[in-house]
């Protein structure tokens, strides 16, 4: 430690404040512009998720009303061009017709009952038009119609169920292979063509039967799952949180910092 005496002039000299350091003017401009862009973008994404949440809640309410409402007659050929996913999917409908058991098709399915097949049977109306009916699920060992002769319903019968839209091509993982009669989605047009039916006479939708006509036998109907994930509020909060963090980050970059000379060392 130094013992050098301090003069009177040195004692009276005022202490200078430690200089502060900070980013340059150019850096500050760049940071402000970048923060403004990110903040506006994150807020926009958050607001978009808020709008999506409102739309999803409205969709859930509308679908719930369709599912639990009174059954209406399935759209006929004159109204097929007006059938849309937004207006009609999951609407409860009823249909009177005759099953074409000779043209049954099985579509691979994974359900709560395990792996197996949906039984898709054309139903012919009195006017000759066809609506595909998903009669329900059968396990692999009951895929062959000969193993379940009790399911072959003859004559006119009434089916009630949920209207579903066509599922063309296949699934995300597998494509339909019509020439080998391997189906992974309910592609009504392709199934109709494979069965030798005129696609113009086949409805652009199918019906998931409710299973009330065969509650204790195969095929098992009424397995339609309606699930609309609604995570939009969480996504909105995430984006708004990112917007807030952008402001915090910009403040940390732009704030003045004391220089290292501000630290006093005790000799």
Distance from CA of residue 26 to its chain's centroid? 45
- On the question of a cis peptide bond just before residue 121, with omega within 30 degrees of 0, the verdict is no
Q: Give 216's pLDDT tier (boundaries 50, 70, 90).
A: low
Instruction: Note the pLDDT tens digit of each residue in 174-198.
Output: 899 999 999 999 999 999 999 999 9
Higher-scoring residue by pLDDT: 95, 70: 95
Predicted pLDDT at 27: 83
Max mean pLDDT among 3-7, 32-36, 143-147 falls in: 32-36
Cα 119 to Cα 161: distance, rounded to the nearest angstrom = 14
The region, left, alpha or beta by phi > 0 then psi within -120 to 50, assigned to residue 136 is left
Residues 6 or more apart whose CB falls under 8 angstroms from that of 201 comprise: 77, 128, 129, 130
Distance from CA of residue 240 to its chain's centroid? 22
Reference 92, options 78, 105, 75, 79; nearest CA is: 75
Two tokens, residue 107: 């579509």
Q: Give 14's pLDDT tier (boundaries 50, 70, 90).
A: low
Predicted pLDDT at 259: 47
Reference 160, options 93, 79, 248, 221; nearest CA is: 93
Higher-scoring residue by pLDDT: 50, 59: 50
Cα 72 to Cα 45: distance, rounded to the nearest angstrom = 40
Cα 232 to Cα 46: distance, rounded to the nearest angstrom = 9
243 SS3 class: helix
Helix axes 232-254, 25-67, angle to 10 degrees: 170
Does the predicted model carry a pTM greater than 0.75?
Answer: no
DSSP annotation of 113 reads: T
Query: Quick check: 64 pLDDT over 70?
Result: yes
Which of 20-34, 114-128, 170-184, 185-199 has the least mean pLDDT?
20-34
For the segment 81-95, the average pLDDT, to the nearest whole number, is 90
Reference 217, options 136, 161, 154, 114; nearest CA is: 136
DSSP string of 193-226, one letter each residue:
HHTT--GGGEEEEEEEE-STT-TTSSSB------
Query: Quick check: 1 pLDDT over 60?
Result: no
């Amino acid at each position: 430690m130094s013992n050098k005496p301090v003069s009177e002039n040195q004692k009276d000299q005022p202490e200078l404040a430690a200089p502060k350091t900070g980013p340059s003017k150019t850096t500050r401009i760049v940071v402000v512009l970048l923060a403004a862009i990110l903040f506006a973008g994150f807020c926009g994404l958050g607001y978009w998720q808020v709008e999506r949440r409102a739309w999803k809640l409205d969709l859930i309410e509308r679908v719930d009303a369709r599912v639990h409402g009174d059954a209406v007659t399935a759209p006929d050929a004159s109204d097929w061009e007006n059938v849309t996913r937004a207006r009609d999917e999951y609407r409860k409908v009823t249909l009177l017709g005759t099953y074409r058991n000779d043209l049954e098709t099985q579509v691979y399915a994974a359900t709560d009952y395990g792996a197996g097949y949906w039984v898709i049977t054309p139903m012919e109306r009195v006017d000759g038009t066809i609506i595909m009916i998903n009669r329900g699920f059968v396990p692999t060992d009951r895929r062959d119609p000969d193993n379940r002769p009790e399911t072959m319903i003859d004559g006119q019968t009434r089916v009630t169920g949920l209207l579903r839209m066509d599922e063309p091509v296949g699934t995300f993982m597998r494509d339909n292979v019509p020439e080998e009669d391997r189906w992974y989605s309910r592609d009504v047009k392709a199934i109709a063509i494979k069965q030798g039916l005129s696609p113009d006479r086949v409805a652009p939708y199918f019906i998931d039967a409710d299973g009330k006509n065969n509650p204790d036998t195969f095929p098992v109907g009424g397995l339609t799952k309606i699930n609309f994930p609604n995570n939009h509020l969480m996504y909105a909060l995430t984006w708004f949180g990112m917007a807030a963090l952008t402001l915090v980050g910009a403040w940390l970059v732009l704030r003045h910092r004391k220089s290292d000379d501000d630290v006093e060392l005790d000799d």
